[in-house]
Structure 1
């Protein structure tokens, strides 16, 4: 549904639902995706399903395979290194830039996050800080990396890996940004991303893991 209560265009409905199934690993890496089966499961026509799969192929989440239709992209060790290495480059810089901003709009956004009854979840927190950096392309890049790493984390969890617990007080990171402590904010976000990277690599390089290198 859209914010005004209207229905999303059918292609966007299909795109949203299929992307969520892939990111949550309800559709596992390597799984075959039939347009007919997806159409029946989601209650949508084949045309929006086909268009959504083409969009997901552009995002690297599925691939087209001759005589097999569509296949959910595998997660490789190289993928893990590349995704988390980029997060380690972009997110600390985003936190430093967010902490350095003093314009009224950025301050209002920070105040809203800090005064919320419940702190944002981990993904929302990382995305919010990237947006607060003021660099639109950095925020867009982080958003895509968060999607890719969330699939890796979901896959690791299915291997029985105990992922690092969320910080007890996520507000500490936001407080560091709000108070202009950019070095501390960068360190906090770097440490969190590094711990997630280490956990995913440990899970998917274990002898019982079936993830290709």
Structure 2
């Protein structure tokens, strides 16, 4: 019984460590994963690593490669386009619901959560910023009272986390992004559904453009000579 609990603990520990390495791009886009290397790196056995990779595979962070093991999931420009189209639909609905349904206490929490930023080119600050960013958008969704909407927005924020790391390096948008969140909060407090939807849609479109720019730069830097303009896979 104790062995099973210990095994489960090690598997969960390996899952979180590997996922963080993928999200922060420590494990590179499309990189083949050597399970023994990860086991040594994290001080666990190969079995917990294998179980963690199976779980990450179900979540789309890695893909199984026949006879080779696992690979960090690649992403294409089409993937980004599809995800942001879905994000526009879901978050437009979320802010409209929030403007209509949020309680005064919930609006107060949104206001308190809106004022956060990061330091350009400081990777540690990116991690904290992106955690706050996801929490902020999920907090807004939570006021809808719609569990399925909350789940889908949480999933999208989780999926976009990796590529957001790349997007933050394109240019210093810290002040712009901080003000976007404050404007969203202000519009929600006014319960102005049309204004807050306009702000969130503009923020999402700008974010998509920033990420497209980052992916193009990443492809040029990572692609082999002569292949800079091809659909080179990028992590997600």
Q: Confirm or deny a common fold (TM above 0.5).
A: yes
Q: CA deviation at 1:179?
A: 2.8
- Return the alpha-carbon distance in structure 1 between the equivalents of residues 63 and 48 of structure 2: 17
Does the 8 A contact of 1:164 with 1:199 survive in 2? no
Alpha-carbon distance change, 117 to 86 in structure 1, aligned in 2, over 3 angstroms: closer
- Return the alpha-carbon distance in structure 1 between the equivalents of residues 58 and 113 of structure 2: 36
Q: Which segments of 5 or more consecutive residues in structure 2 lack a partner in the other structure?
A: 1-7, 117-128, 224-230
Does the 8 A contact of 2:114 with 2:136 survive in 1? no
TM-score by length of structure 1 reads: 0.83
Counterpart among 185, 196, 201 of residue 207 in structure 2: 196
- Return the alpha-carbon distance in structure 1 between the equivalents of residues 232 and 172 of structure 2: 21
Aligned to 2:125: none
Is residue 16 of structure 1 aligned with residue 36 of structure 2?
no
Does the 8 A contact of 1:31 with 1:71 survive in 2? yes
Aligned to 1:5: none
Alpha-carbon distance change, 153 to 118 in structure 1, aligned in 2, over 3 angstroms: closer
- Return the alpha-carbon distance in structure 1 between the equivalents of residues 53 and 63 of structure 2: 9
Q: Deviation digits for residues 57-80 of structure 1, max 9, x if unmatched?
A: 111110111232110011211111
CA RMSD of aligned residues (A): 2.5
Aligned to 2:140: 129
Q: CA deviation at 1:28?
A: 1.3
Aligned to 1:3: none
Q: Deviation digits for residues 92-118 of structure 1, max 9, x if unmatched?
A: 11010011105xxx4323223434695
Q: CA deviation at 1:44?
A: 2.1
Q: CA deviation at 1:141?
A: 0.8
TM-score by length of structure 2 reads: 0.75
Alpha-carbon distance change, 169 to 72 in structure 1, aligned in 2, over 3 angstroms: closer
SS in 1 for 2:75: coil
Aligned to 2:160: 149
SS in 2 for 1:37: helix
Higher helix share: 2
Aligned residues: 201
- Return the alpha-carbon distance in structure 2 between the equivalents of residues 57 and 184 of structure 1: 39
Aligned to 2:98: 98
SS in 2 for 1:147: helix
- Return the alpha-carbon distance in structure 2 between the equivalents of residues 15 and 127 of structure 1: 23
Counterpart among 159, 174, 179 of residue 185 in structure 2: 174
